[in-house]
Structure 1
Amino acid sequence: MCGDQFLNVPASKGGSAGSDEPIGLIAGEGELPILVAEGIKRSGCTVHTVGLAGCFDERLPGYCDTFQSAGILRIGRWARILRRHGVTRAVMIGRVRKQRMYDPLRLIRQIPDRRAVSIWFHKLRHDHRTSALLAAVADSLAEMGITLMDSTEYIQDQLATQGVMTRNSPDAAQLADIAFGWPLLISALEHDFGQAMSVCDRDVIAVEAIEGTDSMIERTGQLCRRKGWVLLKGAKLKHDRRADVPTIGETTVRKVHQCGGRCIALAAGDVIIVNKPSVLKLADKLGVSITGIAGGNETELPAASGTREQSEQAATDQ
C-alpha cells in the first residue's frame, strides 16, 4: 500500500468501538499491527491508525475505526492525524526496514517533513543506532502531544514464556550452546547492534546486524553446514518497549529449519511470537524446539531431551 489515503472503517472486527479512550496505532510491516488493533478493540477502546506508506498490511484498515496512510518520514503528519481523533496515547509497532535509511534516492522520494529533518540532523547527528532513532521519534511525538505506549500492552498473550513451549525440548548439546551463548548475547545487546545470535558447539556463528534476523539465519546456514545449531534472540536490560520489541514468526521458524537450526531460545517476556499458537504448531511439525529463557544473565535452562544426533534423526524422520 502506498500514498496517502483516508478511510473511516466500520468497527466490524475485534469488539465494540467508541466505549473508552481513543488509542492511536502507528503501523509498519507485518501482522503485528493487526494483532495490536484486535487487542485494543478487546479492551473497549477505539483504534485510530496511521499506516506507514509502503509498509502496512492491506488488511489492516478493516480492523480500525479510522485509518489514514502517511509517509515514513512525515512524523508531524502522524501526530496531526492522531490528534484529529482525540488521541493522546499510541502504540508504534511493525517493521520498518532500516536499510532504507542508507538508500539516498529512497529517502528523497519519501520527502521528509521538518520534524524528520530536525531529528536526523540534530538528535541523531552522532548516533544512528535503532535505539537512538526510536527514542528521538518518541520524544518528537511527545512534544506534539502523542505519548508512545509499551508496544506489547495489548498483545501480552503473544510474548515468549519461560520454559519449553514446544513438544520437543533442547538436547544436551543445544542446552550447552544456550548456556555458552546467552551471556554473550546479553553483552552484545547492551551495545545495541543486533537482537540475535547463532551458536553451534560453543562457538558463535553469526551475530545480527542491520540486515535483520532472517538474513542472519541464512548467513548462518551458509557458514555452518552442520545441523543442530541454536538461534538466540533477546532484548537488552531495560529495553525501551515503546518500539522495536524483538519478534519471531512462522518465517523465522521455517528459515531456521531450512538452514539447519533445530533450537530457538528466546528471552521470556521480552520477545513477541507473532501468532504464537501457529508458530509453536509449526515448530512441532518441523522438529524445532522453542524455549524461553528468564532472568537476563541468570540463564535458567530447561531439561534436556536426548542428544543432538537423536534430535537430527527425529527431524529427518518427520
Structure 2
Amino acid sequence: MTAAALGVSSPVGVIAGGGAMPFAVAESLKARGLDPVLFGLKGVCDPAAAERFRHHWITVGQYGRAKKLFRQENCKNLVFIGTLVRPSLSEIRLDWETLRIMGRVWSAFRGGDDHLLSGVGRIFEQDGFRLLGLKEVAPDLLMPEGCVTRRMPDRGAMSDVARGREVLRALGPFDIGQAAVVIDNHVVGVEGIEGTDSLLKRVADLRASGRIRAAGGRGVLVKAPKSGQDLRFDLPTVGSRTVEGIAAAGLAGLAVIAGNTVVADPQAMIETADTASLFVVGLPS
C-alpha cells in the first residue's frame, strides 16, 4: 500500500527501542514512499543500525527534548517499536517538561505494560502528535491469515489452539502476558514477565525433567494481544527464534492472531519451521 492509501503523512518518527524491528519498520516506510526519522532510545537502540537512517538520540524521561526534536523534524506522526525493559521512576532523569506532566506519568506507571504504553501515548496525543500502529505504517510486517508452512495443524492441535485462546482471553484484563502453551488440552505454561523465549525454555525443562510426559510433536504455543489492549503498542512478536524455541520444547507448532502479530523475519521463520516440521498458522481475529 502507498502512503496515501495508508492515510499517513511524511515524515514519520520511529521511536526506536531494542532489536531489529525499528529498522524493519523504517525500511517498510521507505518502500511506501514515507520518510522515516529514527529517535533512538539511548542504551537500548542499536547505534550501528541507526546510522543507516536520519536519526536523533533521546532518553526515557527527557520528554521536553524529545518533543522539541519531533517538532524540529516535522514528525506529527509517530510510531513506537522495539523492546524496552520498563525502568523504575528512580532510574529516570527527568527534564522540566517531564516534571510538569509528572502526575500523568505517575498515573501511567501505576499498572501493567499496556496501561503504561497507553498512558504515554495519551501524553503525546495531548501535545498534538499522532501515535500510529504497525497496521498504518508497516502492514507487510504483520502475520497473514492461514497456515504459512508445509505442515498443517491437525484437529488435536486446533483444539489446543482454542484452549490457548480461552486462557489468554481470561488473563487479558490482568495485563499479564500474551502467550500460553497447551498440550493435549492441558495448559502447561503461561507467559509472565520473563517473555516468550523463557516460557518455551521452561516448557523444555519441564519435559526434560519428566514433568511433561506427553510425546514430543504435540502441543501449541498460542500468542495473542491482551483483550482490550491498545493495538498500536506492544503487539505479540514472533520469528525464527520463536520457532527454534518451539522445536526445543517438543511442540507441534505456533498459532498467532493474523493482522495483530508482528513477524520479525518472515522467510527465515517459515524456513526454520519447515526444517523442523512445525506448523505456523495465522488465526482470524
**What secondary structure does 2:272 align onto?**
helix
The alignment status of 1:163 with 2:146, answered yes or no, reads yes
Question: RMSD value over aligned CA atoms?
Answer: 2.2
Separation (CA, whole Å) in 2 of partners of 1:254 and 1:79: 40
Paired residues for 1:108-257 under 5 Å: 108=91, 110-114=92-96, 118=102, 122-124=106-108, 127-224=110-207, 225=212, 226=214, 227=216, 228-237=218-227, 239-257=229-247
Q: What amino acid maps onto 2:35 in structure 1?
A: T
Q: Which residue of 2 aligns with 1:299?
A: none
The alignment status of 1:76 with 2:64, answered yes or no, reads yes
Most deviating of 261-270 and 54-63? 54-63
Unaligned runs of 5+ residues in structure 1 are 1-19, 296-318
Q: Which residue of 2 aligns with 1:287?
A: 277
Separation (CA, whole Å) in 1 of partners of 2:39 and 2:152: 41
- Contact 2:18–2:45 (CA under 8 A) maintained in structure 1: yes
Q: CA deviation at 1:86?
A: 1.2
Q: CA deviation at 1:115?
A: 5.3
Q: Which residue of 2 aligns with 1:308?
A: none
Q: State, as a whole percentage, how many aligned pairs show the same letter.
A: 28
Q: Which residue of 2 aligns with 1:41?
A: 30
Separation (CA, whole Å) in 2 of partners of 1:231 and 1:293: 13
Separation (CA, whole Å) in 1 of partners of 2:32 and 2:85: 30
Separation (CA, whole Å) in 1 of partners of 2:67 and 2:232: 16
Unaligned runs of 5+ residues in structure 2 are 1-8
TM-score (norm 2): 0.86
Runs of 4+ in 1 over 4 A off after TM superposition: 114-117
What per-residue deviation string (whole Å, max 9, x for no partner) do you get for residues 156-204 of structure 1? Answer: 1221122211111123322221122222222222432111111111111
Paired residues for 1:81-120 under 5 Å: 81-98=69-86, 100-101=87-88, 107-108=90-91, 110-114=92-96, 118=102
Q: CA deviation at 1:293?
A: 1.3
Q: CA deviation at 1:213?
A: 1.2
Q: CA deviation at 1:261?
A: 2.0
**What secondary structure does 1:160 align onto?**
coil
Q: CA deviation at 1:289?
A: 0.8
Q: Which residue of 1 aligns with 2:4?
A: none
- Contact 2:108–2:120 (CA under 8 A) maintained in structure 1: no
What per-residue deviation string (whole Å, max 9, x for no partner) do you get for residues 193-219 of structure 1? Answer: 111111111111111111111111111
Separation (CA, whole Å) in 2 of partners of 1:57 and 1:287: 33
Pair 1:212–1:112, CA change in 2 (3 A): farther
TM-score (norm 1): 0.77
**What secondary structure does 1:137 align onto?**
helix
Separation (CA, whole Å) in 2 of partners of 1:115 and 1:166: 50
Pair 1:24–1:121, CA change in 2 (3 A): closer
Separation (CA, whole Å) in 2 of partners of 1:142 and 1:120: 13
Pair 1:51–1:249, CA change in 2 (3 A): same
Separation (CA, whole Å) in 1 of partners of 2:62 and 2:147: 42
**What secondary structure does 1:210 align onto?**
coil
